[in-house]
Chains A and B, each alone.
Chain A
Amino acid sequence: MTKPVLIVGGGPAGLSAAQALAAAGQKVEIVEKEDQLGGAPILSGYAKLVPSGEWAKDAIGGMVSRVEGEKLVTVHKGVTVKKFSGEPGAFAAELSDGKKIDAAATILATGFTHFDSINKPEWGFGTYPDVVTTTQVEQMLSSGAGVKCPSDGREPERVAILLCVGSRDRQIGRTWCSKICCTVSANIAMEIRESLPNCNVYIYYMDIRTFGLYEDNYYWDSQEKFKVKYIKARIAEVTSDGKRLIVKGEDTLVKRPITIPFDMVVHAVGMDPNVDNMTLSAIFDVKLHHHGYIDKASTYASMSGTSRPGVFVAGAATGPETIDDSIAQGQAAAMAALAVARPALEAAE
C-alpha cells in the first residue's frame, strides 16, 4: 500500500478530492481546522445552492457523510498542520495535536474567508443592525427563521442588496471580482420575493456578472418571474433617519442623486483569500499570488499544481470559485495527487 494523500481542508473541494481518491483505492488523510466537515456551505449555513437549488445541508452534507463513511479516508477535525517537509512521494506533516502523517502528496483545499463588511464602514454594517450580509440572509433562510429585520424582528417591506461589497474596490485592496455574488444575490432576491411577496427587492449594481448559464436562470428569472429591480448605482453610504435605513448614491441612468428609505440592506460580500494564507504559505512553502490566494502553476503544464511539486491546490484557495467548480478542481487535484502517490502503477502490472 502506498502512503496516503494529505488533504488540508474539508470543504467541497477537499471532500470531492477525498471521494475521488478513495474511489481510486487511494488512502486519504483529511485535516480540517473546524470541528465539522463541509466548509463554508455548512459552517456558514448556506441555504439553497446555485445552481441545483438543493439545500446546502443536503447537498454538501451528503458529500460529508459519504466521505466520513469511506474506509480509506481518515478525518482529523479541530486540528491544523503545524509542520510540513519532504518531497513528492515522501512528505511528513505534523498536526497541532502532535500527530504525525507521512503523505505521498498533499492537496490544499483551504478555501476562502468571507469579506468582513466592517471594512466598508460607509455602508453601515456594524453600525445599524438591519444592515446584514448575504451570509446572514442565507442563515435566516436555512434556519427556517425567515427574513426579518434584526433590529425588531419585523418583516422588511423593502430590501436593498448592494453588490461588490469587498470586491472590485481598490480602496480596500480588493481588485478582483468575487465571481459568484451576482448570482447568489439574484438567488437570494428570488427567495426573499418568494417568502415575502409584499417585499420589494432592489439590487444596486455596477455590472451584473451572472456568467454562463446563470444569466437566464438567475438574472433573467429574478427580473421576469420575481420582479426584482436592478438599479445601476454604486452606493455612497448607508445611514438612518432613526426609523429606516437611508441608501444614498447616484442613479447613473437618470444622473440623479438618490436617498431612498429601506428596511433592510444586504451586503453581497465577496470572497477574500483565506485569512490563514500567510501561515499556510509559510508552512507548506507555497507561493501566494499578489491577490493573496495560493498561486497556481501553469494550468497548461501541470494540473492543480502550486509552486511546490507534490503539493496541489483546489477550489476557492486559488481565487473566488463556485461550489461546482471547486468540486471539479478537487477531482482534478485528486488525479494529480494520485499520479504522484502511485507513480509505478503501470510498471507494477
Chain B
Amino acid sequence: MPIHEKTLIRPENLIEHEELVLDGVDVSGHWSTFIESRTVTDYNEALQEEIAALPGGENIHRCWQCGSCTNACTVNAINPDFNPRYWIYLIRVGMEEELLRDKDIIWQCVSCNKCTYACPRDVFPEGVMKATAHWLELKGYTEKKPSMIFDEEFTEQIVASGKIEDGKVLRRFFQKTGQPLMQEWLVAMVRGLVFRLPVSLLMKMGLATLFHPRTSGWDRSRRAMEDYIDERHEADRKSLGLDMKSAEMGAE
C-alpha cells in the first residue's frame, strides 16, 4: 500500500531495527520499519498566555486562522516555511514542541507590517512574531546571534553615555564574539581614514577614544532608561515565570 502524505513522516519518527527476528522471521533493516505516532496528547495552555504577556503578542487570541497574514507576508514569498498563521495556531493551542521546530526561522520577520494591514481581526501578527522571537530568546531556546550581540553593545554604550564610540563598539563586539581585532578589512579602512580625514577630525576622534565623553546632563536620562529597561525585563520574565536572578543576567 502506498504511503500517503509522506511529507508528514519525520525522520526522527522512523524506527528501524538493524537486526530483528520476529517469530522466526527475519525482519531486519527496512522490513522492520515502524513510524511512531504523531498524536498530540495535550495542550500547553500556558503558551498563549506567555506570548500574550510579551509586547506585541496581546491580541493573539483573536486569530481565526484565515491565513491573511501568511498570504501578505514578505518573507513567506521567499521561504514558504515562514508561516505566521501556522505559528499563531501552534501558540494558541499550545503545541510548543511543534513551534520550537521553527525556532531558527521565526526571527526572520522583517517587520514590513503587511500582515498588520491584512489581518481582519487586528491580531497584529507582526507583533506576535516579535513577541515569539523574544519569547524564544527569554526561554533560552535560541542562542544570541552576532547581530544581537552587536545591538546590545551599541545599546549599552548609548545608555551609559548618550553616545557611541565606534572604536569601542567594534572592539567590544569582536571581543564578545571571539574575533581578532586585527582584521584585514578593518586595518585597510582605518588606514584609509588616517590618510584621508582632516587632522582636526582625527584629533577629535582620538580624544573621544581616550576619554569617552558623555552627553552633558545625561545622568538623569540614563537612570530613566535603565529603570525602564529593568522594569520591562522584569515584567517579561515574570510573565514567563522565570526567576528574578536570571532577570538580572538578562538585563546585562
* B85-100 contact mask (Cβ, 8 Å, vs A): 1 or 0: 0100110110100100
* B35-63 contact mask (Cβ, 8 Å, vs A): 1 or 0: 00111111101001000000000000110
Is B121 interfacial (CB-CB < 8 Å)? yes
Q: Is the CB of A253 within 8 A of B65?
A: yes
Q: Pick the residue among A200, A220, A223, A258 that contacts B39 (CB under 8 A).
A: A258
**Closest chain B residue, CB of each to CB of A224:** B62
Q: Pick the residue among B5, B43, B61, B86 that contacts A223 (CB under 8 A).
A: B61
Q: Pick the residue among B38, B48, B92, B121 that contacts A220 (CB under 8 A).
A: B121
**Closest chain B residue, CB of each to CB of A253:** B89
Chain A interface residue count, CB cutoff 8 Å, equals 21
**Closest chain B residue, CB of each to CB of A261:** B42
Collect the chain A residues with CB atoms within 8 Å of residue B43's CB.
202, 260
Is A254 interfacial (CB-CB < 8 Å)? yes
Q: Assuming the A-B contacts A223-B61, A229-B93, are A260 and B38 also in contact, with contact meaning beta carbons closer than 8 angstroms in the complex?
A: no
Collect the chain B residues with CB atoms within 8 Å of residue A155's CB.
none
Q: Is the CB of A223 within 8 A of B62?
A: yes
Question: A256–B98 Cα gap in the complex (Å)?
Answer: 11
Q: Is the CB of A256 within 8 A of B38?
A: yes
Question: A220–B61 Cα gap in the complex (Å)?
Answer: 10
Chain B interface residue count, CB cutoff 8 Å, equals 23
Nearest CB in chain A: distance from B121 CB, A: 7
* B195-218 contact mask (Cβ, 8 Å, vs A): 1 or 0: 000000000000000000000000
Is B64 interfacial (CB-CB < 8 Å)? yes
Is B190 interfacial (CB-CB < 8 Å)? no
Question: A257–B40 Cα gap in the complex (Å)?
Answer: 6
Q: Pick the residue among B40, B41, B92 that contacts A229 (CB under 8 A).
A: B92
Q: Assuming the A-B contacts A224-B61, A231-B93, are A256 and B39 also in contact, with contact meaning beta carbons closer than 8 angstroms in the complex?
A: yes
**Closest chain A residue, CB of each to CB of B40:** A258
Q: Is the CB of A257 within 8 A of B38?
A: yes
Collect the chain A residues with CB atoms within 8 Å of residue B61's CB.
223-224, 227, 229
Is A128 interfacial (CB-CB < 8 Å)? no
* B60-93 contact mask (Cβ, 8 Å, vs A): 1 or 0: 0110110000000000000000000010011011
Q: Is the CB of B8 within 8 A of A260?
A: no
Question: A230–B93 Cα gap in the complex (Å)?
Answer: 9
**Closest chain A residue, CB of each to CB of B43:** A260
Collect the chain A residues with CB atoms within 8 Å of residue B64's CB.
208, 223, 230
| Most chain B CB inside 10 Å of its own CB: which residue of A202, A231, A232, A254 | A254
Nearest CB in chain B: distance from A206 CB, A: 13
Nearest CB in chain A: distance from B120 CB, A: 10
Q: Is the CB of A251 within 8 A of B40?
A: yes
Question: A230–B65 Cα gap in the complex (Å)?
Answer: 10
Is A170 interfacial (CB-CB < 8 Å)? no
Question: A103–B62 Cα gap in the complex (Å)?
Answer: 55
Q: Assuming the A-B contacts A200-B45, A220-B121, are A256 and B40 also in contact, with contact meaning beta carbons closer than 8 angstroms in the complex?
A: yes
Collect the chain B residues with CB atoms within 8 Å of residue A253's CB.
65, 86, 89
Collect the chain A residues with CB atoms within 8 Å of residue B8's CB.
255
Question: A253–B41 Cα gap in the complex (Å)?
Answer: 16
Q: Is the CB of B40 within 8 A of A232?
A: no
Is A217 interfacial (CB-CB < 8 Å)? no
Nearest CB in chain A: distance from B20 CB, A: 26
Q: Is the CB of B98 within 8 A of A259?
A: no
Q: Is the CB of B39 within 8 A of A259?
A: yes
Nearest CB in chain B: distance from A215 CB, A: 11
**Closest chain B residue, CB of each to CB of A227:** B61
Q: Is the CB of B41 within 8 A of A260?
A: yes
Q: Is the CB of B5 within 8 A of A254?
A: no
Question: A296–B92 Cα gap in the complex (Å)?
Answer: 45
> For residues 103 through 123 of chain B, which have their beta carbon under 8 Å from a beta carbon of chain A?
121
Nearest CB in chain A: distance from B70 CB, A: 12
Collect the chain A residues with CB atoms within 8 Å of residue B48's CB.
227
**Closest chain A residue, CB of each to CB of B67:** A253
Q: Is the CB of A257 within 8 A of B37?
A: yes
Collect the chain A residues with CB atoms within 8 Å of residue B45's CB.
200
Q: Assuming the A-B contacts A224-B62, A230-B64, A232-B65, are A254 and B98 also in contact, with contact meaning beta carbons closer than 8 angstroms in the complex?
A: yes
**Closest chain A residue, CB of each to CB of B5:** A255
Nearest CB in chain B: distance from A126 CB, A: 26
- A256-B40, A259-B41, A260-B40 given; 18 more Cβ-contact pairs under 8 Å: A220-B62, A223-B61, A224-B61, A229-B92, A229-B93, A230-B64, A232-B65, A253-B86, A254-B40, A254-B98, A255-B5, A255-B8, A257-B38, A257-B39, A257-B40, A258-B39, A259-B40, A260-B43
Closest 9 CB pairs of A and B: A257-B39, A258-B40, A227-B61, A256-B38, A224-B62, A256-B40, A253-B89, A259-B41, A259-B39
18 residue pairs bridging A and B, Cβ less than 8 Å apart: A223-B61, A229-B61, A229-B92, A229-B93, A231-B93, A232-B65, A253-B65, A253-B86, A254-B40, A254-B95, A255-B8, A257-B38, A257-B39, A257-B40, A258-B39, A258-B40, A258-B41, A261-B42
Interface residues of A (CB under 8 A from B): 200, 202, 208, 220, 223-224, 227, 229-232, 251, 253-261
